[in-house]
Structure 1
Amino acid sequence: MPMPPFLAQLRQKIGTDLLLLPTIVVIARDKDDRILFVHDRDSDSWTLPGGIIEPGESPASAAVREVWEETHVIATLTRIIGVIGGAGCETTYSNGDQIAWVATVFGARVEEGTPVADGMETKAARFLDTETARSMPLRADTRRFLDAERASGSGIYFQPTDWRPE
């Protein structure tokens, strides 16, 4: 779904002004340990399945829903990889809408399905091995999410703080 109804209503009130939104991203791996990627229509680049958490929806439910909507693949969440936000987690869409986000990044295993693009948000969906993925034109935030997975090991990654009281 391109824009949830609650966000469309909010945009009618505030126009294209910057919004800070809670989001999810999913690093879903198949049985061969390849990662599920989507080719995003708006940015015209490769990224990971993800999107906005809707009102009343849990981050976990949003993660499973977004993977399904964008790829028609059913994923089972395995862990929280980390929480990413701040500089580099903002964009301006082609219609002028500005957003910034804080993403809960989930790890997942693909349970069933063959990746198929939804034709609205995504124009392609496929599994890529890590080496191939790193050579693709990935969005900068996607590289951050993959780096967080690598840095997290079996724990949870979070960006080191740069804030100190004055």
Structure 2
Amino acid sequence: MATPDFIRDIRATAGHQLLLLPGVTAVVLDDEGRVLLGRRADTGKWAIVGGISEPGEEPAATAEREVLEETGVHCVAERLVLAQALEPVQYANGDRCQYLDITFRCRATGGEARVNDDESLEVGWFPLDGLPPLGEFALFRIKQALTEGPAWFQPTPSTT
């Protein structure tokens, strides 16, 4: 994923310290119940679409923008699926981030699925019984998106 300019600006003074960043994931379904996936240029693996919110951008708008930018598909965010703090990651350049992921179920409304930027090698629609190999992250989000809610979150451990 390309680093947004606002994060480059923060990194200029913050260095490699851990940043908590707002991540958004979009589980996009079409009228046939297929899931939109992209094969990532950085890892070569299939994944659901996601990205980082820009300052002042609502998470649902981020989901819709990222889907269009990466795949050429127009969509509408329909439902909050989950919110989850992910494990911190460290990139090859030493930057450390922890993403607070907000996942939405989205409905495709137009456009043609295609590679639309340099973040993907391939883009396509997949039936639920014909998904390519996906990580736990993607499979859990797809499963949650297929339910009618409520939104999933990690409960606070009981201290009593």
Using the size of structure 2 for normalisation, the TM-score is: 0.88
Which consecutive residues of structure 1, in runs of 5 or more, have no partner in the other structure? none
Give % identity.
28
Determine if contact 1:75/1:110 at 8 Å carries over to the other structure: yes
Correspondent of 1:127 among 112, 125, 128 = 125
Correspondent of 2:99 among 98, 101, 120 = 101
Q: Does 2:112 align with 1:114?
A: yes
Please list the CA deviations of residues 20-73 of structure 1 after superposition, one character each: whole Å capped at 9, or x if unmatched: 111111111112110000111222211111111111111111111000111011
Tell me by how many angstroms 1:162 deviates.
4.7
Determine if contact 1:28/1:35 at 8 Å carries over to the other structure: yes
Q: Does 2:157 align with 1:159?
A: no
SS of the equivalent of 2:89 reads strand
Match of 1:4 in 2: 4
Tell me by how many angstroms 1:148 deviates.
2.6
SS of the equivalent of 2:100 reads strand
Match of 1:14 in 2: 14
SS of the equivalent of 2:137 reads helix
Once residues 88 and 133 of structure 2 are traced to their aligned partners in structure 1, the CA distance between those partners, rounded to angstroms, is 18
Which consecutive residues of structure 2, in runs of 5 or more, have no partner in the other structure? none
SS of the equivalent of 1:56 reads coil
Aligned residue-pair number? 160
Q: Does 2:33 align with 1:37?
A: no
Q: Does 2:145 align with 1:149?
A: yes
Determine if contact 1:117/1:124 at 8 Å carries over to the other structure: yes
Tell me the amino acid that sits aligned with residue 151 of structure 2.
Y
SS of the equivalent of 2:2 reads coil
Tell me the amino acid that sits aligned with residue 124 of structure 1.
E
Tell me the amino acid that sits aligned with residue 77 of structure 1.
A
Determine if contact 1:42/1:93 at 8 Å carries over to the other structure: no
Determine if contact 1:39/1:45 at 8 Å carries over to the other structure: yes
Q: Does 2:134 align with 1:138?
A: yes
Cα RMSD over matched residues? Answer: 2.0
Tell me the amino acid that sits aligned with residue 128 of structure 1.
F
Tell me the amino acid that sits aligned with residue 123 of structure 2.
A
Using the size of structure 1 for normalisation, the TM-score is: 0.85
